[in-house]
Amino acid sequence: MKRFVPLLKEINEKLVLPQPEKSRILLEIGADMADLFDHYLKQGKSETEAMQIITEKFRVCDDAISELIVVHQGFIQKLANKISRQAQSFWEKAGLLLFLLGVILVCGRIVISAQFFHLASPYITPVIMLALFIAVLAFIKFYSLYIKKNHSIKTINNGMKELLILGCGCLLIGVFGNFMELYDTFKVMAASPENSTLLLFEWLEKTAPLMVFTLSVTSITALLWYMLQNKINKIQNEELAFLLNL
């Protein structure tokens, strides 16, 4: 594979794509180069001749590069990679980890208190359901990446989009629930304006835990996703470095 490094490096430099996509394209091209090289050797060509043919055949022109970029640029992936590249240093990661632990501790204390669930709006139920899904998904992903070390290129990104979607779903339900509760409160207030203060207080009592829980779940999901995405990027970068012998 080493003999193809200059060609692969050339393609790597031109391909302006998120690293996961880029790694997959380079892996495919690199492996094809190696197989085609062997094919020409079996045909009786010398290594120099085979290498010349490979160089000629695999030279990727700018138009082809542009086409590849257009084909592979997805909106979510583009956005996700942009965010995950923001913090790469040890201190940034350590800070995030501490923040994550802090959020989990604070939220855990609120969630396990019975009063919290007793007072909360019924809209908290779907948020809890989604939070459970997120917890299961994140656990599976952590297990797969850190313990089982399943770094298969085909499945490494599985579940990452779903994690983001579930987190957004929590936020949407929380905000929607908040406004629905407010709407219901206003309807009752219109019928009995003398109890307005009490009704507003009740609304606050119901929606405050809902919003605290919703925002906590969303923040934790975002942090989990960030950590997992960083790990994925690291694995893919290592794979690329191995391929390109960097």
Partner 1 sequence: MKPSFEIQNLTKSCNELLILSTVLDEKKHGYQIALEIEEKSAGYFKFNHGTLYPILHKMEKEKYIKGSWQQEGPKRKRKYYTITEKGKKYYAAQNLGWHDFFQQFMKLCGEKSA
Chain residues binding partner 1 by CB under 8 A are 24-25, 27-29, 31-33, 35-36, 39, 57-61, 64, 67-68, 71-72, 152-154, 242
Minimum distance between the CB of residue 229 and partner 1, rounded to whole angstroms? 20
- The residue (of 10 and 162) whose beta carbon lies closer to partner 1 is 10
Nearer to partner 1, 24 or 206 (CB): 24
Min separation Cβ 166 and partner 1, Å? 25
Identify the CA nearest to 8 among candidates 190, 213, 239, 231: 239
Residue 229's SS3 state is: helix
Convert 10-39 to b/e letters by CB count within 10 Å (16 or more is b).
ebbebbebbbbbbbbbbbebbeebeeebee
The nearer residue to partner 1, 25 or 227, going by C-beta atoms, is 25
Of 224, 122, 166, 24, the residue nearest 12 (C-alpha): 24
Distance CA 232, CA 37 (A): 31
Q: Which is nearer to partner 1, 118 or 154 (CB)?
A: 154
Provide, rounded to whole angstroms, the least separation between the CB of residue 27 and partner 1: 6
Nearer to partner 1, 25 or 137 (CB): 25
Q: Measure the CA–CA gap between 227 and 221, rounded to whole angstroms.
A: 10
CB of 45 to partner 1, least distance (A): 14
Closest distance of CB 29 from partner 1, Å: 7
Cα torsion for 26, 29, 35, 38, to the nearest 10°? -90
Q: How far is the CB of 225 from partner 1 (least distance, A)?
A: 23
* Residue 201 Cα distances to 121, 189, 197, 206, 210, angstroms: 13, 12, 6, 9, 14
53/172 with CB nearer partner 1 = 53
